[in-house]
Amino acid sequence: MAKSYYKNSLKFKVLDRIQQISGNVVLRVDIEDMGSPRQISRCFRDLVEMGDLIKIGYGIYAKSYLSEYINKPVIKGGFGQVCKEALTKLGVKWQPGSAEQTYNAGLSTQIPVRTIVQLKSRFRGHLNYGNRKLIIEKGINAK
Protein backbone atom coordinates (compact mmCIF):
# COMPACT_ATOMS: atom_id res chain seq x y z
CA MET A 1 0.00 0.00 0.00
CA ALA A 2 1.52 3.31 -1.08
CA LYS A 3 1.80 6.18 1.38
CA SER A 4 -0.09 9.36 0.66
CA TYR A 5 1.50 12.70 1.48
CA TYR A 6 -0.05 16.11 1.89
CA LYS A 7 1.28 19.18 0.10
CA ASN A 8 1.46 21.17 3.34
CA SER A 9 3.46 18.47 5.16
CA LEU A 10 6.99 19.07 6.40
CA LYS A 11 8.41 16.75 3.75
CA PHE A 12 7.13 18.89 0.88
CA LYS A 13 8.28 22.07 2.61
CA VAL A 14 11.74 20.50 2.93
CA LEU A 15 11.64 19.42 -0.72
CA ASP A 16 10.71 22.97 -1.74
CA ARG A 17 13.66 24.39 0.23
CA ILE A 18 16.00 21.78 -1.29
CA GLN A 19 14.93 22.77 -4.80
CA GLN A 20 15.75 26.42 -3.98
CA ILE A 21 19.31 25.55 -2.87
CA SER A 22 21.84 26.32 -5.58
CA GLY A 23 24.15 23.47 -6.46
CA ASN A 24 23.60 19.75 -6.22
CA VAL A 25 24.67 19.11 -2.61
CA VAL A 26 22.30 19.31 0.36
CA LEU A 27 23.56 19.20 3.93
CA ARG A 28 21.47 18.58 7.03
CA VAL A 29 22.61 22.01 8.24
CA ASP A 30 20.79 23.60 5.29
CA ILE A 31 17.36 22.64 6.64
CA GLU A 32 17.89 21.97 10.35
CA ASP A 33 15.78 25.02 11.30
CA MET A 34 12.61 23.49 9.81
CA GLY A 35 11.96 20.89 12.50
CA SER A 36 13.37 18.59 15.13
CA PRO A 37 16.31 16.32 14.25
CA ARG A 38 13.99 13.31 14.18
CA GLN A 39 11.57 15.02 11.78
CA ILE A 40 14.45 16.06 9.50
CA SER A 41 15.80 12.50 9.52
CA ARG A 42 12.39 11.13 8.54
CA CYS A 43 12.07 13.69 5.74
CA PHE A 44 15.51 12.83 4.34
CA ARG A 45 14.76 9.10 4.57
CA ASP A 46 11.46 9.54 2.71
CA LEU A 47 13.04 11.76 0.05
CA VAL A 48 15.75 9.14 -0.52
CA GLU A 49 13.07 6.44 -0.88
CA MET A 50 11.15 8.64 -3.33
CA GLY A 51 14.33 9.17 -5.40
CA ASP A 52 14.58 12.95 -4.96
CA LEU A 53 17.84 12.69 -2.99
CA ILE A 54 20.76 10.27 -2.79
CA LYS A 55 22.75 9.86 0.41
CA ILE A 56 26.49 10.10 -0.28
CA GLY A 57 27.79 10.57 3.26
CA TYR A 58 26.85 11.22 6.87
CA GLY A 59 24.50 14.21 6.69
CA ILE A 60 25.44 14.80 3.04
CA TYR A 61 22.93 14.28 0.25
CA ALA A 62 22.97 14.87 -3.50
CA LYS A 63 20.06 15.98 -5.67
CA SER A 64 19.00 13.35 -8.16
CA TYR A 65 16.79 12.67 -11.13
CA LEU A 66 15.21 9.49 -12.46
CA SER A 67 17.19 8.05 -15.35
CA GLU A 68 14.96 6.96 -18.20
CA TYR A 69 17.49 4.31 -19.28
CA ILE A 70 17.99 2.39 -16.05
CA ASN A 71 14.85 3.61 -14.23
CA LYS A 72 16.84 4.47 -11.10
CA PRO A 73 17.78 7.77 -9.45
CA VAL A 74 21.07 9.23 -10.69
CA ILE A 75 23.13 12.05 -9.17
CA LYS A 76 22.76 15.39 -10.94
CA GLY A 77 26.14 16.59 -12.19
CA GLY A 78 27.89 13.28 -11.65
CA PHE A 79 29.56 11.75 -8.60
CA GLY A 80 32.95 13.43 -9.00
CA GLN A 81 31.52 16.92 -9.29
CA VAL A 82 29.20 16.39 -6.33
CA CYS A 83 32.07 15.15 -4.13
CA LYS A 84 34.14 18.22 -4.89
CA GLU A 85 31.13 20.48 -4.30
CA ALA A 86 30.45 18.74 -0.96
CA LEU A 87 34.03 19.22 0.20
CA THR A 88 33.87 22.90 -0.72
CA LYS A 89 30.50 23.34 0.99
CA LEU A 90 31.86 21.67 4.15
CA GLY A 91 34.79 24.10 4.18
CA VAL A 92 37.44 21.46 3.44
CA LYS A 93 40.40 22.74 1.44
CA TRP A 94 41.31 20.39 -1.40
CA GLN A 95 42.90 20.24 -4.81
CA PRO A 96 42.56 17.72 -7.65
CA GLY A 97 44.65 14.55 -7.56
CA SER A 98 47.97 14.35 -9.39
CA ALA A 99 46.48 12.42 -12.34
CA GLU A 100 43.87 15.12 -12.92
CA GLN A 101 46.47 17.87 -12.54
CA THR A 102 48.77 16.33 -15.18
CA TYR A 103 45.82 15.84 -17.55
CA ASN A 104 44.64 19.44 -17.09
CA ALA A 105 48.20 20.71 -17.67
CA GLY A 106 48.34 18.80 -20.97
CA LEU A 107 51.18 16.53 -19.82
CA SER A 108 49.13 13.35 -20.17
CA THR A 109 46.46 12.08 -22.54
CA GLN A 110 45.01 9.61 -20.04
CA ILE A 111 41.68 10.82 -18.72
CA PRO A 112 41.32 10.22 -14.97
CA VAL A 113 38.29 8.05 -14.27
CA ARG A 114 38.20 7.81 -10.48
CA THR A 115 37.52 10.76 -8.22
CA ILE A 116 40.80 11.41 -6.41
CA VAL A 117 41.63 14.54 -4.42
CA GLN A 118 44.45 15.84 -2.26
CA LEU A 119 43.24 17.33 1.00
CA LYS A 120 44.77 20.46 2.47
CA SER A 121 42.61 20.46 5.61
CA ARG A 122 41.15 17.76 7.80
CA PHE A 123 38.16 15.66 6.66
CA ARG A 124 37.28 12.39 8.36
CA GLY A 125 34.11 11.58 6.46
CA HIS A 126 33.50 9.19 3.60
CA LEU A 127 31.68 10.03 0.38
CA ASN A 128 30.37 7.14 -1.68
CA TYR A 129 27.53 6.16 -3.97
CA GLY A 130 27.04 2.56 -5.06
CA ASN A 131 30.47 1.18 -5.85
CA ARG A 132 32.06 4.62 -6.38
CA LYS A 133 33.84 6.42 -3.58
CA LEU A 134 35.96 9.51 -3.09
CA ILE A 135 39.62 8.53 -2.90
CA ILE A 136 42.08 10.61 -0.93
CA GLU A 137 45.44 10.53 -2.68
CA LYS A 138 48.11 8.50 -0.89
CA GLY A 139 45.76 8.03 2.04
CA ILE A 140 47.00 11.30 3.52
CA ASN A 141 44.13 13.17 5.11
CA ALA A 142 45.74 16.59 5.54
CA LYS A 143 49.09 18.28 5.76
In this model, does residue 14 exceed pLDDT 50? yes
Q: Are residues 53 and 94 in the same domain?
A: no
Q: What percent of the chain has pLDDT over 70?
A: 92
Residues 65 and 93 in one domain: no
Residues 100 and 112 sit within 8 Å (Cβ to Cβ): yes
What is the average per-residue pLDDT within 7-27?
90
The band of 1, judged by pLDDT with boundaries at 50, 70 and 90, is: very low
Which tens digit of pLDDT belongs to each residue from 104-132? 999 999 999 999 999 998 898 999 999 99
Q: How many CB atoms lie under 10 A from the CB of residue 83?
A: 27
The domain boundary residue, chosen from 77, 100, 121: 77
Domain, as residue range, for 110: 78-143
Q: What is the biggest distance separating any 2 CA atoms in the chain, rounded to whole angstroms?
A: 57
Residues 54 and 123 grouped into a single domain? no
Averaged pLDDT, 29-38 = 92
Instruction: Say yes or no: 96 and 139 in one domain.
Output: yes
Express each pLDDT in 54-70 by its tens digit: 999 999 999 999 999 99
pLDDT of residue 136 exceeding 70, the answer is yes
pTM: 0.87
Q: Looking at the structure, do residues 55 and 84 belong to the same domain, yes or no?
A: no
Of 24, 53, 77, which residue sits at a domain end? 77
Q: Which residues contact 83 (CB under 8 A, 6 or more apart)?
A: 56, 115, 117, 127, 134
My answer on whether 130 and 60 are in the same domain is no
62 and 85 housed in the same domain = no
- Average per-residue pLDDT in the chain? 90
- Domain count of the chain? 2
User: Same domain, yes or no, for 60 and 113?
Assistant: no
